[in-house]
Copies of this chain bind each other. A is one copy, B any other.
Amino acid sequence: MDASIDGNGEGARDQLIRVAIDLFAENGYAGTSIRDIAKRTGKSVSNVYHYFQNKEDLWLAIIGKTVNELPEKLRKVALSEGEPVERFVRLMKTHLAEGVNFQQETKIFFINEGSLSPQGRTSNRRIQKEILDIYVGQLRLLQSHGLIRTKNVKILAFNILGVLNWHLRWFNNEGELSAEDVHNEMIDFILYGSCGLPRDGMK
């Protein structure tokens, strides 16, 4: 039998991660104990410590495959071919799609900065800085094409990230509107706010 699949179709390690994500999102990092996680999985405390070195290691395992890889994914889009505005739209669509994919993980990422070790805190800040820089870079490019209304692209980038990141708090993928519809409205809002113009040549 496949070693990565057990009887109920989910490895013990994956189950621990899934439950930890739920609990971290509900009660925060400091507000969630190892015993809470063990209890909800039906496993024992030592089981957690068999798969993870400590609590922060479990945290990093959650962030590692999701938020940590976000800057690289966004950079790939930012450096891709295409017309500037269209690429900018693609950048935001990628960003929003990742947000829906890893909604809880990203929410956790933003909410629990204060409870981490100094290394975790630094890594957290670095990721946010990288993402900000990607947007600032794209906005400067658009600005050089005369497409941006204002001078201060950094404020603009913060505004855009506010819209994109806040969406993690309110968007419900089980709602009546499709993610694509919601995202298109958000992107229109941002494009009007940034360029004073609607999306260009997009369907």
Contacts and interface: CB of A to CB of B under 8 A. Distances in A.
Interface string A19-46: 0000001111111000000000000000
Interface in A131-172: 149-150, 152, 155-156, 158-159, 161-167, 170
Contacts of A162: 162-167
A153 to B, nearest CB: 11
Chain A interface residue number, banded? 35 or more
* Copies of this chain in its oligomeric complex: 2
Interface of A: 25-31, 111-112, 114-115, 149-150, 152, 155-156, 158-159, 161-167, 170, 177, 182, 185-186, 188-190, 192-194, 196, 198
14 contacts: A27-B30, A28-B30, A28-B112, A29-B31, A30-B30, A30-B31, A155-B185, A159-B163, A159-B166, A161-B166, A163-B163, A189-B193, A190-B193, A192-B194
